[in-house]
Amino acid sequence: MKKKVLLKDVAEYVGVSTALVSYVLNNKEKQARVGDEIAKKIRKAAADLNYQPNLIAKSLQSGKTNTIGLIVADISNPFFSSIARIIEDEAMRQGYVVIFGSSDENPERSMRLIDVFNNRGVDAFIIAPSENAERQIRSLQKQQVPVVLIDRYFKNIRSDYVIINNHDSAYNAVEHLIRNGCRRIAMMAYETHLEHMQQRIGGYRQALKDNGIEFRENWLPRVSYKDVAHQVEDYIKALTRPRLKVDGFFFATNTLAVESLKPLTRMGIRIPEDLAIVSFDESDAFDLFYPPVTYVSQSLDAIGKGAVDLALARILDKKKKPEQLVIASKLVIRESSIRKRSK
Amino acid sequence: MKKKVLLKDVAEYVGVSTALVSYVLNNKEKQARVGDEIAKKIRKAAADLNYQPNLIAKSLQSGKTNTIGLIVADISNPFFSSIARIIEDEAMRQGYVVIFGSSDENPERSMRLIDVFNNRGVDAFIIAPSENAERQIRSLQKQQVPVVLIDRYFKNIRSDYVIINNHDSAYNAVEHLIRNGCRRIAMMAYETHLEHMQQRIGGYRQALKDNGIEFRENWLPRVSYKDVAHQVEDYIKALTRPRLKVDGFFFATNTLAVESLKPLTRMGIRIPEDLAIVSFDESDAFDLFYPPVTYVSQSLDAIGKGAVDLALARILDKKKKPEQLVIASKLVIRESSIRKRSK
DNA sequence: AACATAACCTTAAACGATTAAGCACAAATA
DNA sequence: TATTTGTGCTTAATCGTTTAAGGTTATGTT
């Protein structure tokens, strides 16, 4: 129940000023010309008393918190929590800790988080921005606060970011379906103007076009962020009805796929015979589903590490030119998309 | 690029001392007898200048950070990330932010996290403790730092915690298998002395005993935390071999189940015909797996909210008597455990 | 002996807020 | 009129560090 040990306590214990203790414990003995003897004594005393520096005081003094603020859409989404883990590890290796928040794709919530984190003096932000977050990002940049965007980015904001090539990834995925005999290919996307989603849609449309398949609005349901499960189910029902019937489905994210697979299974739709399937992102469920689901694999490792690297680099040099990392994706082909083609 | 607006700036702008500004912006005008006129002016000025208080300075002064430190085994595990999300929401509602870390079931890492978070002055910890973390928890308690344990707890530490009734939950799960005609029931557990795991094992053994089934060490593989996938596969292979062959399997966690289902599917073992299955925790994969997996559902909501409540209560009263919350679990019965019994 | 230099340590002002104590003046009381 | 009480504000210490600037000795140089 003794009170916390302060720098002052160590100083008194040894019989020197706090300045000396500070110098020694921060390994500035050389510059401060501290005697070897006394330095040793100070270190010993600090250890004996189990002195732990108050990092808040340190931060106030130095203007550094060694904290990274991570804002994602939803930390309970495995895609984001996996990235969070990578970021945590990488940050920890470099002496940083991570404070996180979920924006829920909601600009107000995102803004609140950004403000709070900023007032707490995070040294850098890593953000998977929600729609309409441009102003917030710009504002941070104006204040010279390091920001790295992940997963999503804004065309008209020059910033550090780490993404994958969404257009090509989608293109490849859809082309893969076509090569496997699909001609009536739907894509389920989220209703958002966010660039990454538009790119994925673009890739889908381009693949159709390049293969002489006409695009149909009907085939591109756009799910809004609220009450996803219901909407998904409705769309799945509609698109598997005879009139619209599709033979291939490309899902723009793991949640869309997972939510879609539930009604598909219930309805007894055979995969890939009735419907071939490819999804973006990964999920444990994709492995265990039968048949295993083909998916576009993003290297979460590369994204997380890249984001931390860019963030730390910008902390060191706030004026540096923004860097963009485009991580390669990989189409992991499983049975959900492989049709035995009738020659 | 203007420098940050400080309290002092607001004060100068209005032409008063910083004290007044502080009183007004903290709604202490009454106690400090600030004039109505000037109070209005101050508020206006703060808004005009977009003053944002430096929370670090505030923390240093007040000794409060409004931060909760969350330490789990692995934030990328959906079980923990889902709880993290609940905790985040609940904490945010109460004006707290969350900083998190993954212990990886490793006491050294756990200790490092606890130290760092503690030196940053988190107001409370919410911890899913790893094995051998007793000392660390005790040390926090001695320092009067609020700690709430979740998911796991220590028999010989009096602390706040939120858990489910592991013994009974396991008992029910295993009994359910027995009622469905299983007699040779294995359980896959983690190799740890942590109480929650021992309780689950205890429930399993008790259920066997109460139903006249003799316990066999062979049937209880204990997986250590490193290289889980490999071990799991080996155990699955061994236990499905004719000599040991089991007809029911109870998994102590979602990761064990998910990792087990992979080799089981590859090996073409039919579920539930060849092997009936029940798992602890939940997972998207349990819904999509065919057949859907029976599982012991913990109310993550109740756990998360409960943990935050206990934490905040203890922040308010550090001497209060430790409280224990035992959340009810629910066995969600799906086809993976339902055998058509031959009468 | 007189002074410069080096070696070692202390003082005190920051960092940006909060808040107890005190000061000056006006109004109320006697 | 003198004294008390109340009102509205300022001053300055404080939280726990860091660090520039300065202060004392001891040592070296001439």
A318-338 tens-digit pLDDT = 999 999 999 999 999 999 999
Long-range contacts, A312-318 (Cβ 8 Å, 24+): A312/A94, A312/A96, A312/A124, A314/A124, A314/A146, A314/A147, A314/A148, A314/A160, A315/A123, A315/A124, A315/A146, A318/A144, A318/A146
Look over chain B and give the mean of its residue pLDDT values, rounded to a whole number. 94
The tens digit of pLDDT for each residue in B80-101 reads 999 999 999 999 999 999 999 9
Nearest Cα of chain A lies from the Cα of B13 at a distance, in angstroms, of 21
pLDDT at residue A1 in the model: 52
Integer distance in angstroms from CA A7 to C1' C11?
Answer: 16
* Residue entry with tokens 């090539």: A165
pLDDT at residue B338 in the model: 94
The values of phi and psi at residue A341, to 5°, are: -75, 140
pLDDT at residue B342 in the model: 43
Least Cα distance to A163 among A342, A12, A323 occurs for: A323
- A55 CB less than 7 Å from any atom of strand D: no
- B54 CB less than 7 Å from any atom of strand D: no
Name the closest nucleotide to A17, judged by C1' and CA. C10
Measured between CB atoms, which of A55, A101, A121 is closest to B119? A55
Position B178, amino acid: I
Please state the rounded mean pLDDT for residues A44-62: 96
Q: Is B287 in Cβ contact with A288 (below 8 Å)?
A: no
The values of phi and psi at residue B258, to 5°, are: -60, -45
- H helices then E strands: how many in chain B? 14, 12
Beta bridge partners of A101: A71
Please state the rounded mean pLDDT for residues B199-203: 97
pLDDT at residue A341 in the model: 54
- CA B200 vs. chain centroid, Å, equals 17
Query: 3-state SS string over B187-225?
Result: EEEECCCCHHHHHHHHHHHHHHHHCCCCCCHHHCCEECC
Q: Is B92 in Cβ contact with A97 (below 8 Å)?
A: no
The tens digit of pLDDT for each residue in B139-190 reads 999 999 999 999 999 999 999 999 999 999 999 999 999 999 999 999 999 9
CA distance B166 to B202: 9
- B17 CB less than 7 Å from any atom of strand D: yes
Q: What is the dihedral of CA B93, B94, B100, B105, to 10 degrees?
A: -100
Please state the rounded mean pLDDT for residues B316-325: 95
CA atoms within 13 A on the CB side of B139: 11
End-to-end CA, chain B: 81
DSSP B152-189: ---TT---EEEEE-HHHHHHHHHHHHHHTT--SEEEEE
Q: Where in chain B is the domain with CATH 1.10.260.40?
A: 7-53
Q: Is the dihedral of CA A136, A138, A143, A149 positive or negative?
A: positive
Q: How does residue B244 score in pLDDT terms, banded at 50, 70 and 90?
A: confident
Mutate to test the interface with A, among B64, B66, B75, B79 (most CBs of A within 10 A): B75
pLDDT at residue A135 in the model: 95
Position B334 pLDDT exceeds 90 = yes
Position A342 pLDDT exceeds 60 = no
The tens digit of pLDDT for each residue in A216-274 reads 999 999 999 989 999 999 999 999 888 778 999 999 999 999 999 999 988 989 999 99
Please state the rounded mean pLDDT for residues B278-300: 94
* Residues contacting B61, CB < 8 A, separation 6+: none
A191 neighbors A252 (Cβ within 8 angstroms): no
Contacts of B228 in chain A (CB under 8 A): none
Integer distance in angstroms from CA B7 to C1' D6?
Answer: 28
Q: Where in chain A is the domain with CATH 3.40.50.2300?
A: 65-163+300-327, 166-298+331-337
CB atoms within 10 A of CB A265: 17
* Residues contacting A16, CB < 8 A, separation 6+: A38, A42
Mutate to test the interface with A, among B70, B81, B106, B334 (most CBs of A within 10 A): B81
- A144 CB less than 7 Å from any atom of strand C: no
Identify the H or E element spanning A154: none
Q: Is B261 in Cβ contact with A119 (below 8 Å)?
A: no
Please state the rounded mean pLDDT for residues B42-65: 96
Where are any strands of DSSP class E within chain B? 67-72, 97-102, 124-127, 147-150, 160-164, 185-190, 222-223, 248-251, 276-280, 294-298, 324-327, 329-332
Beta bridge partners of A297: A330
The tens digit of pLDDT for each residue in A132-145 reads 999 999 999 999 99
Please state the rounded mean pLDDT for residues A141-154: 96
Nearest Cα of chain B lies from the Cα of A319 at a distance, in angstroms, of 12
Position A208 pLDDT exceeds 90 = yes
Q: Where in chain B is the domain with CATH 3.40.50.2300?
A: 63-163+300-326, 166-298+331-337
A174 neighbors A185 (Cβ within 8 angstroms): yes
Rounded percentage of chain B residues whose pLDDT exceeds 90: 92
CA distance B183 to B193: 27
Position B319 pLDDT exceeds 90 = yes
pLDDT at residue A3 in the model: 74
Topology of the domain comprising B7-53: 434 Repressor (Amino-terminal Domain) (1.10.260)
pLDDT at residue B3 in the model: 74
List all nucleotides in chain C with at least one atom under 7 A from a protein Cβ: 7-12, 14-21
CA distance A198 to B326: 47
Topology of the domain comprising B63-163+300-326: Rossmann fold (3.40.50)
pLDDT at residue A290 in the model: 87
pLDDT at residue B2 in the model: 60
* Residue entry with tokens 């993404």: A163
Q: Which residues 45-64 in chain A have a CB closer than 7 A to strand C?
A: 57, 60-61, 63
Integer distance in angstroms from CA A25 to C1' D2?
Answer: 63
**SS3 state at A314:** helix
B330 neighbors B171 (Cβ within 8 angstroms): no
Position B243 pLDDT exceeds 50 = yes
Name the closest nucleotide to B6, judged by C1' and CA. C16
* Residues contacting B75, CB < 8 A, separation 6+: A75, A81, A84, A85, A88, B81, B84, B100, B101, B102
Look over chain A and give the mean of its residue pLDDT values, rounded to a whole number. 94
Measured between CB atoms, which of B100, B116, B258 is closest to A288? B258
Comparing alpha-carbon positions, the chain A residue that sits nearest to B255 is A284
pLDDT at residue A2 in the model: 60
B100 neighbors A100 (Cβ within 8 angstroms): yes
Position A343 pLDDT exceeds 80 = no
- Look at phi and psi of residue A227 and say left if phi exceeds 0, alpha if psi is from -120 to 50, else beta: left
B177 neighbors B278 (Cβ within 8 angstroms): yes
Superfamily of domain A65-163+300-327: Response regulator (3.40.50.2300)
- CA A207 vs. chain centroid, Å, equals 27
List all nucleotides in chain D with at least one atom under 7 A from a protein Cβ: 7-12, 14-21
CA distance B235 to A240: 41
Q: Is B65 in Cβ contact with A75 (below 8 Å)?
A: no
Superfamily of domain B166-298+331-337: Response regulator (3.40.50.2300)
